[in-house]
Amino acid sequence: MNQIFPGLILLLQEESRYSQVLDNMKHPDLSKFLVIGALLFIIGVAGVLTRRNIIVIFMSIELILNAANLNFIAFSRYLQDTGSVNAVAGQVFTVFIIVVAAAEAAIGLGIVIALYRNRETIWVDEIDLLKW
Amino acid sequence: MTLSGWEAVFFWIFAVAALVAGLLTVLARNAVHSALFLISSLVSVAALFVLLGAEFIAGVQVLVYVGGVMVLFLFVIMLVNVGAEERGREEIFNRKPQVVASIVFSLLLALGLVYAINQGLAGLRSQDKAKLALAERNQAARQESLRTSATGTTKITKDTETVGSSLYRYGGLAFEIASVLLLVAIIGSVMLARTAKQEAAADDVDPELLTKSL
């Protein structure tokens, strides 16, 4: 129980633990950035799974890629602080992710335009030519 | 690596802004609103990059994502949007069981990821305790060693310099491949977005014949 809900238990216990949480909030570290990245990723996944508009699905994919970028940059900063040899590798990789995202958006939106010209729809559940 | 003082305040502002804007991207009815919320989310994440000391990537993020990719998105929305969403007749989400299953899956994923991150980082921090303490002590000296700007009021970080040299030293081949990928993407999207008439002109076929076969 204590393992699963650490925040909840901390809030319920005595004031010293409460001030510890407050202190944690005042000094955000690597874990806070990773949690923000994870939540952005999950919002993107939920968007891909629930929306019907193919353009909004593409935007959710951009959100997912961006969450991955945030993780890379956060770990890059952590490695810089711990004195790793090639600490900016994460930032270099992020540049490549942005390049691939731009290429993916260009191709994907080209496909959307071609699709709209032929089928007159942007709803993914109506794009079912390959369904049997 | 810990932020403090104003940095912490700005961290919470931009973190909450990124999450709320991301959520509204998924929930907005109008696709143009979605695009605008996505832009604010991306700018907030760029601000988080600045807080993490990655000024170059933050600049690239704003220039490429907001200035390039999102403008492309808005153009396509204007070309394709049939206005069905604004009229409010069309359902913007999938069927209900699918949405419920997705949300349950997402919440489970969120709980699992947050738990795993906290557990994993506790281990990582105890492993690197000595190095982190050393870094904390050297931080002031490192700040001192940076070059001062011409006005004498601010320090200039070496971030862009180190990213550039690392990019060409370790990622030279990948850099060239990325440029070829972009070229292929440009040609591919031009090919895909042609009209039947333009296609016929390029292939030297009678346009009447092509439209009839479609």
For A44-56, the pLDDT digits (tens) are 999 999 998 899 9
Q: How close is the nearest chain B Cα to the Cα of A25, in Å?
A: 8
Instruction: Confirm whether A4 is domain-assigned.
Output: no
Instruction: Confirm whether B149 is domain-assigned.
Output: no
Confidence of residue B213 (pLDDT cuts 50, 70, 90): low
Report the percent of chain A where pLDDT is more than 90.
49
Give the pLDDT score at B195.
79
Instruction: Confirm whether A20 is domain-assigned.
Output: no
Contacts of B58 (CB under 8 A, 6+ apart): B46, B47, B49, B50
Tell me, what CATH number does A36's domain have?
Answer: 1.10.287.3510
Instruction: Confirm whether B113 is domain-assigned.
Output: no
Give the pLDDT score at B4.
74
Compute the distance between CA of residue A119 and CA of residue B57 in angstroms, rounded to an integer.
Answer: 39
Give the pLDDT score at B129.
79
In total, how many domains does chain B have? 2
Tell me, what CATH number does B70's domain have?
Answer: 1.20.120.1200
ipTM of the complex: 0.85
Cross-chain residue pair A27–B8, CB shorter than 8 Å: yes
In total, how many domains does chain A have? 1
Please state the separation of Cα B117 from the chain's center in Å. Answer: 21
Give the pLDDT score at B126.
84
Confidence of residue B184 (pLDDT cuts 50, 70, 90): very high
Give the pLDDT score at B88.
62
**Residue with the two structure tokens 């310099």:** B161
Compute the distance between CA of residue A55 and CA of residue B60 in angstroms, rounded to an integer.
Answer: 23
Residue B155 has pLDDT above 90, yes or no: no
Domain that holds residue A89: 30-126
Across the interface, of B91, B132, B170, the residue whose CB is closest to A82 is: B132
Compute the distance between CA of residue B49 and CA of residue B63 in angstroms, rounded to an integer.
Answer: 14
Residue A38 has pLDDT above 80, yes or no: yes
Report the half-sphere exposure of B75 (CA within 13 A, side-chain side): 12
Cross-chain residue pair A114–B193, CB shorter than 8 Å: yes
Which range is least confidently modeled, A11-15, A25-29, B67-71?
Answer: A11-15
Instruction: Confirm whether B124 is domain-assigned.
Output: no
Instruction: Confirm whether A11 is domain-assigned.
Output: no
A116 exposure class (CB count in 10 Å sphere: 0-12, 13-18, 19+): middle
In this prediction, residues B85-91 reach a mean pLDDT of 64
Instruction: Confirm whether A60 is domain-assigned.
Output: yes
In this prediction, residues B179-196 reach a mean pLDDT of 90
Residue B121 has pLDDT above 90, yes or no: no
Q: How close is the nearest chain A Cα to the Cα of B191, in Å?
A: 8
Across the interface, of B73, B118, B171, the residue whose CB is closest to A31 is: B118
DSSP E strands, B69-133: none
Query: Given B46, B62, B90, which residue is the final one in a domain?
Result: B90
Question: What are the C-alpha distances in Å from B87 to residues B82, B84, B204?
Answer: 10, 5, 42
Query: Given B66, B90, B114, which residue is the final one in a domain?
Result: B90
Domain that holds residue B30: 1-90
Report the percent of chain A where pLDDT is more than 70.
87
Instruction: Confirm whether A121 is domain-assigned.
Output: yes
Cross-chain residue pair A107–B188, CB shorter than 8 Å: yes
In this prediction, residues B120-140 reach a mean pLDDT of 79
